[in-house]
A and B are shown apart, each in its own frame.
Chain A
Amino acid sequence: MDTKAWILAIVLLIVGLLVGYFAAGPGQAKTVTVTKSVEKTVTVTKTVAGTATQPAKTTTAPAKKVEVKVGVLLPLSGGSAFSGQEDLKGIQLAALHVNQSKYPNLKFTMKLVIADTQTKQDVAVTELRRLAQEGVVAIIGAYNSAVTYPSAAEAERIGLPYVVPESVSDKITAQGWKYVFRTCANASKYAYDTLWAMADIAKANGVEVKSVALIYENSDFGVTTTEGLKKYLNKFFPNAKIVHEESYPAEEVTSMDDMVAKLKAENPDIVFHVAYLKDAVLFVQTMKKLNWYPKAYVGAGAGGQTRVEFIQQLGADANYVYTQTEWQPDFLNSKALSKWAWINDDFKKLYGRDMVGSSALNYVGTYVLAVAIQKALDSGANPSDIKAFRKAVRDALETIKIPAGELPLMPWGVDLTVPNHQNPEAAVAMAQILEGRFRVVWPIEFAPVKAVFPAPPWGKR
């Protein structure tokens, strides 16, 4: 009986793995595609060059391309696996575009070496060591602030440039680290922009906000964002009082009836909720169950409410929810950003759906790193001398200044010349879910639609 069961189990396991390998689909083993497309580009440029009758110049140009390895450190399994895999798609697309010479100023091949942190700090540090040894010139990662810290500290010690495109915790750029650069906004900036947006929207609709409530998940993300909200609240809402403040564990929460019941009793005008996906969905569901809705329910910090699954899970109940968002396909409808639509088209071709905020952020981070690598190459640094080249990439990162309009996808620019390497120009937009879609409603000059404020109560939808 024993042996039979074992054989059965092992057979099942192998079948499962095989099915999994083929069912996993695009995004899992993408490095292969990247190199393939590179070959394709080469042939394409050749034919184009042929018709342009400049054979000598262009046929040699692709052959000269140097290959530069870049390490990717992301949670591909474990608690944050979903976000990690989403981020990876953005990074892989950016690398693909660099390799396809979509950006004429970037003349090298980027080879990604991908590592899984399993959402664990010690695994991340070990993997960083491995990446360093495999000769990567820089690291992009690592989604979770708690994992980014120790791995960035390690990178600092090795002397390995580390680009943070998405972890928001303020502390990462507050250490005076020389090798760590952040292209996205930090948590305080997220909080600042939330309040700014809601103040603008309330003013535009002629509503005075007298009371607000702060609900947040109790990890790093929720706590730092809420600190920022408290710090800047009276700058934007001079007469508003915080009538309720409460934190909860996002992972373990099974019911949010208590919080909604308390809010229903206090009835604040705006509820700021810093949440991941599950708790955000549960909160809105519970508000409907208890038949209460504030004038505005705002997802601060671009957490769960900004995910497509939020709308998928709630359906029509997601309407009128505000959420901070780093990027939405709606951006491409604006005049300034419509020239980047091809990036999203490529993303759609590969993955069958629109880009989301986190993949766009990582795309941008990868692009910035690529620009820095090109600068380092231009300065004459030799990529085969890995230590010196890392230093050169670091020095190049420190001089990066990309004005708004030249950065792909985003309405903002990048300036890493500031002493703490925290891009001060990164901003966060505000979207509202209207008719089952994310519509950008702030900054008002970028917004294709007008916000609905206050939201109609449940009965009148």
Chain B
Amino acid sequence: MIELSAYTQLLVSYAILGGVYGLTALGLSLIWGVMKAVNWAHGDFLMVGMYTAFWTVTLFGIDPYIAAIVAFILLGLIGMVTHVIAIEPVVEKPGGHEATLLTTLGISVILESLALILWSPSPRSYQNVYKNTFLEVLGIRTSVAEAIAFVVSIASIVAVDQFLKRVKIGKAIRAVSQNPVGARVVGIDVPKIRLMTFGLGVGLAGMAGVLVSTFYPNIRPLAGYVWDIASYVVVIFAGLGTIYGVIFAGIIIGITEGLGTIVFSNAFRQILVYVVFLVVLLLRPQGLFGKALRRV
């Protein structure tokens, strides 16, 4: 079977993949934490991010990592518009969390179909040197694009954590996430904070989309779906109110997936992931790294 060096290779490969899962889940986790809203269109925002990369790189010839900044800003704005249309009007009403599920479903359908009409279903791609250059350390190889995505993933998680701890708006976001009623009492403008969070979360999704597109093939209207599911699994694993948990959960899932396929078959691996997911959900709904939910 496989030699030891192959195992370490896989360990590194899947740890990197897990880091990317963490990045795609970060925006979702923020939104989930602050308004308990399931953002169904998350994968579609990733998709729009990928297209942003494609268009900026092919039209203006700029570096995909600059496109990531463009995508962050652009998607941030789109996210705020979405929030005003689809989240804010329903989120506080009774059954609001479920309603956001349906409204974001509507947004998701609209975004996918718009992408289909505007950009055709042809799978797009852009050439970049990063995915074709490789790093080799002690016989373990990875592409530069994946390595950068991993580093950016960790950096953005640290940045978001510092933002939540040090910046005024960030602190307010944390306050709303932990205790919305209390936050309102101390004079925080809760709707405004929700708007900011949604914008930030969607912006992060857009950025993640660009980074994924540097090494993962096929930019097409349904491209976000595969990362969507992974992101939800990560968010549930990580639990509420934790930012660093997202990256740990991502890496754990990445490695479990990778090693799972060696021990079991590829067909069984997916079954395993969902079984573990359900068990964690049932035994620790607050997630592996989250704080216990207080009953209200």
Contacts of A290 in B (CB 8 A): 9, 141
Interface digits, A240-252 against B, CB 8 Å rule (1 contact, 0 not)?
0000001111011
Contacts of B117 in A (CB 8 A): 16-17, 20-21, 23-24
Q: Which of A258-309 contact B (CB under 8 A)?
A: 258-259, 261-262, 264-265, 277-278, 281-282, 285, 288-291, 309
Contact A259 B120 (CB under 8 A): no
Given A246-B266, A261-B9, A265-B2 in contact, is the A289-B134 Cβ separation under 8 Å?
yes
A350 CB–B CB distance under 8 Å: no
Contact B217 A264 (CB under 8 A): no
CA distance A4 to B125 in the complex (A): 37
CB of A163 to closest CB in B, whole Å: 24
Contact A9 B81 (CB under 8 A): yes
Q: Return the contact of B122 from the options A79, A218, A257, A309 (Cβ within 8 A).
A: A309
A312 CB–B CB distance under 8 Å: yes
Contact A247 B84 (CB under 8 A): no
CA distance A16 to B10 in the complex (A): 44
A1 CB–B CB distance under 8 Å: yes
The listed residue with most A CB atoms (<10 A of its CB), out of B217, B218, B262, is B217
Contact B258 A265 (CB under 8 A): no
Interface digits, B111-138 against A, CB 8 Å rule (1 contact, 0 not)?
0011011101111010100011010000
CA distance A2 to B69 in the complex (A): 29
Interface digits, B5-20 against A, CB 8 Å rule (1 contact, 0 not)?
0100110011001000
Given A258-B10, A285-B217 in contact, is the A251-B225 Cβ separation under 8 Å?
yes
Contact B113 A251 (CB under 8 A): no
* Complex: chain A residue closest to B222, CB-CB: A79
Given A258-B258, A258-B261, A309-B123 in contact, is the A282-B216 Cβ separation under 8 Å?
yes
Contact B217 A277 (CB under 8 A): yes
* Complex: chain B residue closest to A280, CB-CB: B217
Contacts of B230 in A (CB 8 A): 254
Count of chain A residues with a beta carbon within 8 Å of a chain B beta carbon = 52
Q: Which of A78-116 contact B (CB under 8 A)?
A: 79, 81-82, 84-85
Interface digits, A350-391 against B, CB 8 Å rule (1 contact, 0 not)?
000000000000000000000000000000000000000000
CA distance A264 to B220 in the complex (A): 31
A175 CB–B CB distance under 8 Å: no
Q: Return the contact of A1 from the options B2, B84, B257 (Cβ within 8 A).
A: B84
CB of B149 to closest CB in A, whole Å: 12
Contact B218 A278 (CB under 8 A): yes
CA distance A85 to B120 in the complex (A): 9
Contacts of A285 in B (CB 8 A): 131, 143, 215, 217
B237 CB–A CB distance under 8 Å: no
Q: Return the contact of B114 from the options A16, A84, A246 (Cβ within 8 A).
A: A16
CA distance A88 to B215 in the complex (A): 31
CA distance A309 to B120 in the complex (A): 14
Contacts of A262 in B (CB 8 A): 2, 262
Contact B121 A82 (CB under 8 A): yes
* Complex: chain A residue closest to B258, CB-CB: A258
CA distance A251 to B116 in the complex (A): 18
Contact B6 A261 (CB under 8 A): yes
Contacts of A20 in B (CB 8 A): 114, 117-118
B276 CB–A CB distance under 8 Å: no
Contact A19 B142 (CB under 8 A): no
12 A–B contacts, CB within 8 A, in A order: A5-B84, A6-B85, A24-B117, A82-B123, A82-B220, A248-B266, A254-B227, A264-B6, A285-B131, A285-B217, A309-B125, A309-B218
3 pairs of A and B residues whose beta carbons are closest in the complex: A20-B117, A81-B121, A281-B217
